[in-house]
Structure 1
Amino acid sequence: MQVIRDNFGASQYDAYVDGAVAGSLHYRVEGDQMWLLYTAVGQDHKETGLEDRLIRYALADAHRRRLMVLPFCHEVRKRVFAHPVYLQLVPAADRDRFRESFEENLKEEAVLKAKTARTAPAEQAVAA
């Protein structure tokens, strides 16, 4: 069973799986803004969608608390720019800056994927 809770004292949302912490999203509240800093999810839970649920929970909580969001975490930016309903949480004056950073990260990820795809067949041939 998965449960997500705001660990207010530690400024992070914790995701529990079967009673143990499996991931966290660290944040900072400054005035009327919530800075979503970084997400950490255990290797065992990377493919379970836990990170996505953690991010959605944090964004919904920021909305409920009427806080604007600054998505410093790349994974949070991916969610925000993929779903326009979340984009309205980012102050209009900051959207372009975060969008540019998001697009740069997407390009870097694409380059890494292309390099990995090119070297994987060569590595497989050597292993055989």
Structure 2
Amino acid sequence: MSDETRIFDNTEAQRFELHAGDQRVGLADYRPQGGALALVHTEVDPRHGGHGYGSALVRAALDSARDRGLSVLPHCSFVRDWIGAHPEYLDLVPEAQRPSFGL
């Protein structure tokens, strides 16, 4: 990611957005569910793939959940796979629900 990229939580739209310059190139949709953040969809514009934008979005969403004291429900397969590859974030998924997410 370059200095011209930024990620912010668009709470009105319930998604984290990644912008490169003045263009939105990725998003991670979520739904608040009590004390949890359900991550339901992540996408990056295919023209901007391979730059780590998807990973940056997931990391920002998970860090935000942690900072806010929320657990995470990774309904999005990209998020599930990312957590599987980064076990330092597994604690965000409630232990009793990990098997249902394949974690």
CA distance in 1, matches of 2:75, 2:16: 15
Q: Can you list the C-alpha shifts for 1:102-121, whole angstroms capped at 9, x where unaligned?
A: xxxxxxxxxxxxxxxxxxxx
**Aligned residue among 34, 38, 51 for 2:37:** 34
Structure number with greater CO (CA < 8 Å, separation at least 6) is 2
Give the equivalent residue in structure 2 for 1:48. Answer: 51
Task: Return 5+ residue gaps in structure 1 as ranges.
Answer: 101-128
SS at match of 1:29: strand
Task: Return 5+ residue gaps in structure 2 as ranges.
Answer: none
Give the equivalent residue in structure 2 for 1:85. Answer: 88
Structure 2 letter corresponding to 1:63: R
SS at match of 2:38: strand
TM-score by length of 2: 0.94
CA distance in 1, matches of 2:29, 2:94: 20
- Higher mean Cα deviation, 91-100 or 25-34? 91-100
Provide runs of 4+ in structure 1 moved above 2 Å.
none
Shift of 1:78: 0.8
Higher helix share: 1
CA distance in 2, matches of 1:18, 1:72: 29
Higher strand share: 2
**Identical-residue share of aligned pairs (%):** 37
Matched positions, count: 100
Q: Which of the two has higher C-alpha Rg? A: 1
SS at match of 2:102: helix
